[in-house]
Amino acid sequence: MSTTAETLKPMSMNSMMSGLAEPSLPGPISWIPNAPGWYVVIGIFACFAFYRVYLAYRKYQANVYRRMALEELNKLQKCTDGIMRLPQLLRKTALDAYPRHQVSPLLGAQWESWLDRQCKGSQFSTQFNGLLASLSYSSNPAIDQQQCQGLYTQAAHWIKHHEVDHG
In total, the chain counts a number of residues equal to 167
CA gap 98, 164 in Å, rounded: 7
- Let me know the angle formed at the C-alpha of 153 by 113 and 69, rounded to the nearest 5 degrees: 85
Which comes out higher in pLDDT, residue 70 or 122? Answer: 70
> Which of 7-11, 28-32, 109-113, 145-149 is predicted with the least confidence, judged by mean pLDDT?
7-11
pLDDT tens figures, 94-138: 999 999 999 999 998 899 999 999 999 888 888 888 888 888 887
CA gap 96, 58 in Å, rounded: 16
pTM of the full predicted structure? 0.70
For the chain, the domains span 64-161
Residue 142 contacts by C-beta under 8 Å, 6 or more apart in sequence?
134
CA gap 148, 23 in Å, rounded: 84
pLDDT tens figures, 30-42: 888 888 899 999 9
